[in-house]
Amino acid sequence: MSDGDDDALAAVVEKPRAEVATEQLRAEGVYDDRRKVREYGPESVALPVTTAPADTDVLEVVVQTDPELRGTTLPDLLAERGWTDAEIERAPGSWAVIGSVVLVTLEDCPREAELGDALLELHGEADTVLAHEGVDGERREPDGRVIAGDPSTETIHTEHGTRYALDLRDVMFSPGNKAERARMADVIAGEAGPTVETDREGPERVFDMFAGIGYFTLPMARAGAEVTAAEINPTAYRYLIENAVLNDVQDRVEAYRADCRDVEVSGADRVVMGYYDAHEYLDDAVAAAASGGVLHVHEATPEAELWDRPVGRIEAAADRAGRGVEIEGKRKVKSHSEGVWHVVVDARVA
C-alpha cells in the first residue's frame, strides 16, 4: 500500500469501545481484515477500514502512512492448496468464530473440505467448521453441516464477559448483533440511553419476549436487571436456563418456555423484542410496558421504508392501546440482505 492510499484509512475510537466498534464496522461492511489494529495515543486505537464509516460513531478517520498487514490470509492458504484465482473469488470473504466453532456461509464456494481445513489452519483456537444454511420457522431453528474438524458443534462463546453455552446446529447465534447485545447491558448500567422514567424504585424490570439462549437476557441481568424471559424453542430454553446458571444470574432471570403472548407481564421498565417479525407482537409489548417504559423493537426493514415502517407500526400499536409513544432512538444493527437493514427502534410508552 502506498502513502495516502484509500485502503490505508483507519477509524479512531476509544480503547474501551474498540470491540463494539469493530463489530459495528464489520456490520457496516467497511472493516478491513487485511491490516492490524494499531494504537493511536494512550487512550484510543485505529481500526482499519476500507472507506469512512457512515453509521459507526468514531472520533476521526485518519490515513495510515505505514499500515501493517496481517499475516497469512485465507486466500494465501487456498492458493497453497492449488486453488485458482477464479476459485478463490468464490470463497467466502467473511466468517465468524463462535467459541470453538467457525461459522461460515458458503453460497457457491467450491472444494468445501479444503476450505474448512484452511479455516481451521487460520484459526488455531477453533476445532470445527460449520456451514450455515439459513434459519427455519417460528422457532428460528438453524440449518447447518460440519465441513471440517470435530463433528461436535456444542461450545461456550464469551463476549464482553457474558458466557453463552450453545450448540450451533440446534440454536441460532448472530455475530453481527454483538454491539447491540453490549448496548443493552450499557442501558441497564446507565452508560447508554434511553433511560427509564418510572416511579418504581429498585432494579429495572425487563421483559425479553424472544429470549433465545439469553442473547439480551444475560447481559442485561449481569448489569443488574430483573428479567422475565420467554422462549418457545425447547432447545434454546434449555440453554437459557443453563446460561443463567453459567453467568450466576439465575436469581435475576425468571424464564418461561412459552409463547411470549401467554406470559403475563405488566409494568415492565423495558420490553425487548429481538425478532424480525416483532411487529406482530407489538400490542402485547405495549400492554406489558409501564408508563414511561421503553420498547426496544427489532425489524428487518427495506432501505426505502426506513424509518417510516417500523416507527409507524409502533405508533399504531400505541394508538390502539390509547397510549402515547415517543421515539427515542433509531439504529441500524447490520445489513440483513440486499437492500434490507436489521434495525432497532427505541420507543418510550406513555
Which residues are annotated binding-site positions for S-adenosyl-L-methionine?
A: 174, 181, 231
CB neighbours of 224 closer than 8 A, spacing ≥ 6? 188, 189, 203, 204, 252
- Backbone Cα Rg of the chain: 21
Grid cell locating 170: 440446534
Q: How many residues does the chain have?
A: 350
Grid cell locating 215: 442473547
The enclosing H or E element of 246 equals helix 234-246
Q: What are phi and psi of 332, to 5 degrees?
A: -85, 125
The enclosing H or E element of 80 equals helix 74-80
- Say if residue 113 is exposed, middle or buried (CB neighbours under 10 Å; 0-12, 13-18, 19+): exposed
Residues that constitute the known binding site: 174, 181, 231
DSSP-assigned letter for residue 286: H
CB neighbours of 115 closer than 8 A, spacing ≥ 6? 78, 91, 92, 104, 106, 109, 129, 147, 148
Beta carbons of 47 and 34 less than 8 angstroms apart: no
Smallest Cα–Cα separation from 289: which of 274, 273, 269? 269
Place of cell 415517543: 326
SS (H, E, C) 154-221: EEEEEECCEEEEEECCCCCCCHHHHHHHHHHHHHHHCCCCCCCCCCCCCCCEEEECCCCCCCCHHHHH
